[in-house]
Amino acid sequence: MFRLFLALCLTAWIGSVWTAPAFAQQQPPSDTLKGLMKRLSAPKEEGKETSAVATRSPGVSRFMPAENGRRLVLDSMIQELTKEPTEQSELKTVLEQVFTAYEEEAKRLKFENDVAGAMTLYLLSNYQIYTGSEDPSDNATKAVVQQIRGILAEPLKDSTSAEKQKMYEAFIVTSGITILRHQVAQSENNAGDLRAVKESAGATLKELLKAEPDTIQITEQGIVIKSKD
């Protein structure tokens, strides 16, 4: 359900500006996530429908936030997207609203301060853009978080709280920009941009889950990888 809250923030912001700024047309920044993405894998047994990953301990993906709620990479990611001070200010305002909306929902669903929750937002945002599906239920969302905790258990086992917070912020910022790009393309009825955003979402799903995007389903049991047959 939490993607809906982010979409409402971004919809209100799109309606307040007369034209889409340049950063809304760009691919989200990815440098902050590259190291983690290289280590991710989601093993599945070939030829069978299976959940993407077994559940493991939730503790590894959680972190202790920086003092006074300080963001560690938000400003640097905004600077990657645009060099215009006015656009930086506008983007920071909307992304702070995205963080607030996400963190309220994460607290309600009991996965606050957790890289797995932020990565779930990233995965589900791309899944919904690719498939055109509605928000998954709370139970489905929580099941995905549990699976993502399993995916992250090994890569994050030696990570500090600060490193995990940076990944957490990067997933939320990237999710927000991805949703923004999709909504801008929809508001402008731009078929080319809509196609590009969908293709990007499919590529992201493939990179995250090591599976063809058309074989991925989100169910009450979480992520399921279907047989191609």
Q: CA of 213: how far to CAs of 29, 95, 189, in Å?
A: 21, 27, 24
What pLDDT, in 10s, does the model give residues 98-155? 999 999 999 999 999 999 999 999 999 999 999 999 889 999 999 999 999 998 999 8
Extents of the domains making up the chain: 2-225
Stretch (H or E) spanning 206:
helix 191-209
> 3-state class of 147 per DSSP?
helix
Structure tokens at 5: 């809250």
Sheet harboring 222-225: ordered strands across? Answer: 50-51, 222-225, 216-219
State pLDDT tens for residues 25-67. 445 444 445 555 554 543 444 444 444 444 444 589 999 999 9
Query: Which residue has tokens 């506008």?
Result: 90
Cα(224)–Cα(227) distance, rounded to whole angstroms? 10
